[in-house]
Chains A and B, each alone.
Chain A
Amino acid sequence: MTSALDISRTSPAHPQRGGTRKARDRGHIQIRDVSVEFERNGDWMAAVKRANLEIKPGEFVCLLGPSGCGKSTLLNTVAGFVNATRGELLVDGQPVTAPGPDRGMVFQQHSLFPWKTVRDNVAFGPLMAGMGRTEALSLARTFLSLVGLSAHASAYPATLSGGMQQRVGIARALANYPSVLLMDEPFGALDAQTRIMMQESLLEIWSEFGNTVLFVTHDIDEAVFLSDRIVIMSASPGRIIADIQVSLPRPRTQDLLTSPDFIELKRECLDLIRRETLRAFEQQNSGGR
């Protein structure tokens, strides 16, 4: 598990950009007045309601909220899987209309192609981008070593543990050098120990790539540990009710989890969530629907 941290020093260079590691100039997300509604039994139900959010290039933002509040829906809208029914959504100035390789996606689980080896899973994106097979495979090798899985390159996904599968998922998404990395509870199915290690190694990788990360979770610890900013959503219809800056120093390690600063910030978050949730409830009850 820890091997990911040692190997991540050898960050691969972007082939087209002459070895520039950081993507700090790309990955600007603008969500303006976005609503997403679904039809259910003839009724239209809002999963996301009039969300406004601007994410700077290279920012690590966590989307936090109770189950069913519309976090995945908002993320899927940025990914292009779901269309907004209102408002405007731009990534690097371009309206999002469909999924694309500029926005890499890491799913909660079971998203690797079971019939492809780990290496072929990671090489898939570069191949789709028109890269030659040998080149794509060598790129896959580089990214697998980045996540510490070189030894499992020719294994099939089903033979790997959940944590290893998620690391392959991260390597696969990164192999396209996306300007935005979208992650939907990527560590939600892992045990606590593995989870912390995965969080640490994600931060390591992110510091190398510098891409924008939009990370969905309902774990406050995870959100505080990882992010520059925490965006909190209320229960349905999902609205953005708070936006908290997390100015804990980086690089962050496991030790941070027990530091007074961390605990203080976590308390602030909890208080804010409670306050905002209560206010949202009151608004709804007083006919503010």
Chain B
Amino acid sequence: MSLEKSEIGSPVIDPVDTPATDTAVAGPAPVKRRARRLPEAVNRYLVRATALIVAILIWHWASTSGFNLFINFENVPGPLVVWNALMQEIVSKTFYVHILYSLQRIGIAYLIAVVLGVALGVLMGRWRLAEDIIAPYIELLRPIPAVAWIPLAILMMPSEESSIIFITFLGALFPIVINTVHGVEQTPKVLVRAARSLGASNAAILRHVVLPGALPSIVAGLAIGMGVAWFSLLAGEIISGQYGIGYFTWSAYTLIEYPKIIIGMLMIGGLGTLCTLMIKMACRPLLRWQAQGKNA
């Protein structure tokens, strides 16, 4: 929209030979507006980066000056200390083993959650009986935090590894199911009717109408699910396991190694963000029709 406006706008209408006073005021404006267009996207990233840097600076100041007013920074390691600890970690092999273990657990748990979550979501969205059977479980289990599952997971699952994956899987499952149901239920009636009168079977309607229509919502669920998976993974790894970034963080806590705790936290945040981003990027080609529509 804004793109069209400024292209049709002032440059065409403003004649070059308008009186000097007019050109002085109106002339340069459209040029400026155009020149600013490209950097606008870059600008936003600059703002975001600046916001992060400011936070680090405040953190640095608070921890070095021993800030203590309700929130106590006296014993919090500053960014430089954490940085130095990180430099030590990244040359050690076990640090990467931790990361690899976590990534593998996320991968397995997430994959199962996606397959099961989308299948359940479609079933619930298309078939009222399925929704009535499954929805109570979803509603009841969804608010239970990952940590609360730990004892049961240990009891029920055959191995430590599988209980961690189970807890991670549960975290990812609910947002995926709920978003899929939402997307499927919003299928426009007119499109289903159009497909039917063009001779589509129920299976074809699912494949060509319901699923593509629900995809934006499903993708949103996949992104949220990835975030929650990391969130839950931490809980699983704290209690059981001997590798994993969650275990790394927890053992640092029991050994009172504060810089390592912060490294662990930042790694979880960073890896979680990265994975979510990758999911979004992977799904983008499937949603190209949407992006095009918005520009029109």
B193 near A158: Cβ-Cβ < 8 Å = no
Give the residues from 259 to 296 in chain B that come closer than 8 angstroms, CB to CB, to chain A. 288-290, 292-296
User: Within the complex, what minimum Cβ distance (angstroms) separates B284 from chain A?
Assistant: 14
A128 near B199: Cβ-Cβ < 8 Å = yes
A101 near B204: Cβ-Cβ < 8 Å = no
Give the residues from 118 to 143 in chain A that come closer than 8 angstroms, CB to CB, to chain B. 124-125, 128-129
B52 within 8 A of A: no
Q: Contact flags (1/0) for A61-101 with B, using CB distance below 8 Å?
A: 00000000000000000011100000000000000001111
The answer to whether residues A113 and B208 also contact, given A128-B200, A158-B292 and a CB cut-off of 8 A, is yes
The CA of A124 and the CA of B295, in the complex, are separated in Å by 25
User: What is the number of residues of chain B that contact chain A, defined by CB distance less than 8 Å?
Assistant: 26
The answer to whether residues A115 and B289 also contact, given A101-B197, A128-B199 and a CB cut-off of 8 A, is yes
The CA of A99 and the CA of B204, in the complex, are separated in Å by 14
The CA of A156 and the CA of B291, in the complex, are separated in Å by 10
The answer to whether residues A105 and B197 also contact, given A156-B289, A158-B293 and a CB cut-off of 8 A, is yes
A159 near B190: Cβ-Cβ < 8 Å = no
B58 within 8 A of A: no
User: Within the complex, what minimum Cβ distance (angstroms) separates B70 from chain A?
Assistant: 52
B100 within 8 A of A: no
B212 near A113: Cβ-Cβ < 8 Å = yes
The CA of A112 and the CA of B295, in the complex, are separated in Å by 18
Q: Contact flags (1/0) for B213-235 with A, using CB distance below 8 Å?
A: 10100000000000000000000
B133 within 8 A of A: no
Which one, A81, A125, A156, A173, contacts B193 given CB within 8 A?
A: A81
Across the A-B interface, how many residue pairs have beta carbons closer than 8 Å? Answer: 85
The residue of chain A having its C-beta at the shortest distance from the C-beta of B198 within the complex is A125
B85 within 8 A of A: no
A111 near B194: Cβ-Cβ < 8 Å = yes
B188 within 8 A of A: yes
| A: interface residue count bin | 20 to 34
Determine the main DSSP class of A at the interface with B. Answer: loop
A124 near B195: Cβ-Cβ < 8 Å = yes
A57 within 8 A of B: no
The CA of A81 and the CA of B289, in the complex, are separated in Å by 28
The residue of chain A having its C-beta at the shortest distance from the C-beta of B295 within the complex is A159
B37 within 8 A of A: no
A28 within 8 A of B: no
The answer to whether residues A99 and B193 also contact, given A113-B209, A113-B212, A115-B215 and a CB cut-off of 8 A, is yes
Chain A hits for B195, CB < 8 A: 113, 124, 128
The residue of chain A having its C-beta at the shortest distance from the C-beta of B205 within the complex is A128
B48 within 8 A of A: no
Chain A hits for B294, CB < 8 A: 158
B197 near A79: Cβ-Cβ < 8 Å = yes
Chain B hits for A103, CB < 8 A: 197
The CA of A114 and the CA of B209, in the complex, are separated in Å by 9
B199 near A111: Cβ-Cβ < 8 Å = no
User: Within the complex, what minimum Cβ distance (angstroms) separates A63 from chain B?
Assistant: 17
The CA of A115 and the CA of B215, in the complex, are separated in Å by 10
A104 within 8 A of B: yes
A172 within 8 A of B: yes
The CA of A278 and the CA of B194, in the complex, are separated in Å by 37
A262 within 8 A of B: no
Give the residues from 178 to 202 in chain B that come closer than 8 angstroms, CB to CB, to chain A. 188, 190-191, 193-201
Chain A hits for B290, CB < 8 A: 114-115
The residue of chain A having its C-beta at the shortest distance from the C-beta of B188 within the complex is A110
Chain B hits for A124, CB < 8 A: 195, 198, 200, 208
The CA of A129 and the CA of B195, in the complex, are separated in Å by 12
Chain A hits for B292, CB < 8 A: 155-156, 158-159
User: Within the complex, what minimum Cβ distance (angstroms) separates A79 from chain B?
Assistant: 6
Chain A hits for B296, CB < 8 A: 158-159
Chain B hits for A128, CB < 8 A: 195, 198-201, 204
Which one, B190, B196, B209, contacts A99 given CB within 8 A?
A: B196
B188 near A172: Cβ-Cβ < 8 Å = no
The residue of chain A having its C-beta at the shortest distance from the C-beta of B287 within the complex is A115
User: Within the complex, what minimum Cβ distance (angstroms) separates B219 from chain A?
Assistant: 13
Chain B hits for A166, CB < 8 A: none
The residue of chain B having its C-beta at the shortest distance from the C-beta of A182 within the complex is B197
User: Within the complex, what minimum Cβ distance (angstroms) separates A258 from chain B?
Assistant: 35
A105 near B194: Cβ-Cβ < 8 Å = yes
A107 near B209: Cβ-Cβ < 8 Å = no
The interface of chain A, by Cβ under 8 A from chain B, is 79-81, 98-101, 103-105, 107, 110-116, 124-125, 128-129, 155-159, 172-173, 176, 182
- A–B Cβ pairs within 8 angstroms, 25 of them: A81-B196, A98-B196, A101-B197, A103-B197, A104-B197, A105-B197, A107-B194, A111-B193, A112-B194, A113-B191, A113-B194, A114-B289, A114-B290, A115-B215, A115-B290, A128-B199, A129-B199, A156-B289, A156-B293, A158-B289, A158-B292, A158-B293, A159-B296, A173-B198, A182-B197
Q: Which 8 A-B pairs have the closest CB atoms?
A: A158-B293, A101-B199, A99-B196, A125-B198, A128-B199, A115-B212, A99-B197, A105-B197
